[in-house]
Amino acid sequence: MIIDFHVHPPTNQFISTLGELFEPTVKYFRANFKVSDYKSFAEDLKNEGITKAILLPIISHLKGGGRIENEHIKEICNSDPDLFYGFASFDMNKDYLSELKYAINELGLKGIKIHPQLQVIRPDDERLKKVYDFADKYNLPIVIHTGITGIGANVKGGGGLKLDFGRPIYIDNVASEYPNVIFIMAHFGWPWYEEALAVAYHKANVYIDISGWSPKYIPNVVIRYMDSLLQDRTLFGSDYPMIRPSRIINELKQINLKEQTIKKILYENALKILNKL
């Protein structure tokens, strides 16, 4: 079994979400992106060895930005309920609590995704309290983007994105106030990975995912933590379609991690989170 905790649907909505930043993002990842229908998307994941995939929506409040709708995520989940688990996003410029209530209670989505840089908000902003209260009440894990983002990379002005919103320490501020909410810091916060490691080690409700990284380029100190203090709180994620999951899985087995660590990262830790949903 392998659970990919960080998957984006390669549909037209994904492209329109990023607007004119789509092309430079694909370039940054040197991704071989092609739009697929739900069926070939599911088949591709299964061929990559994935048993379950957490589908993450994206919403961008930047100029020209768009959204992968929660309904779209739900529709993909319906196409293969054994494979897909859908997470919800919310629009900061609307009644976002009602949106989330609808996504969780009516659509049946299982968690929340926040991208602070695209949503132009710090994770410890007061306006997000409602979101965290809601997550606390309904036992919803939250995946938060941390660190640099490929979106806007190598574009003048970074496409308008401000990296500061991606600092892991802001998650420390909220994780301390919501000890029962699981926070997953996507991409382990590079270049603030030591900060991310400290937060995840200190707060037992905080996890890291290794998505977007080819394991052989993951900094040594992160690998050391993954294999020791954080072996129960590291999750495999790919960032599909930006990186092929099989590449990460294969390399993960080549970087001298303990056998038990690899199992924990590939599915055991994720399973513990999913079983509580």
Binding site for Zn ion (CB under 5 A): 239
Complex with Zn ion: residue 9 or 160, whichever CB lies closer: 9
The closest of 78, 47, 58 to 7, measured between CA atoms, is 58
Q: Which of 259, 143, 272, 165 is nearest to 211 (CA)?
A: 143
SS3 112: strand
Residue 138 CA: distances (Å) to CA of 99, 134, 228:
14, 6, 31
Q: Closer to Zn ion by CB, 35 or 263: give it.
A: 35
**Backbone dihedral angles phi then psi of residue 66, each to the nearest 5 degrees:** -140, -150
Of 146 and 227, the one with the shorter C-beta distance to Zn ion is 146
At closest approach, how far in Å is the CB of 7 from Zn ion? 8
Query: How far apart (Å, rounded) are the C-alpha atoms in residues 188 and 168?
Result: 8
Which uninterrupted H or E stretch holds 224? helix 220-226
* Size (the chain), residues: 277
Question: Is the Cβ of residue 176 or residue 246 nearer to Zn ion in the bound state?
Answer: 246
Q: How near is the Cβ of 41 to Zn ion at its closest, in Å?
A: 16
Nearer Cβ to Zn ion (170/240): 240
Q: Quote the least distance from Cβ 67 to Zn ion, whole Å.
A: 15
Q: How far is the CB of 177 from Zn ion (least distance, A)?
A: 25
What are the φ and ψ backbone dihedral angles of 5, each rounded to 5 degrees? Answer: -85, 5
Q: How far is the CB of 6 from Zn ion (least distance, A)?
A: 5
Distance of alpha carbon 73 from alpha carbon 92, whole angstroms? 19
* Least distance CB 152 / Zn ion (angstroms): 14
CA 33/CA 41 separation, integer angstroms:
12
Residue nearest to Zn ion (CB): 239
In this complex, which beta carbon is closest to Zn ion, that of residue 227 or of residue 239? 239
Report the relative pairing of strands 3-7 and 183-186 from DSSP bridges: unpaired
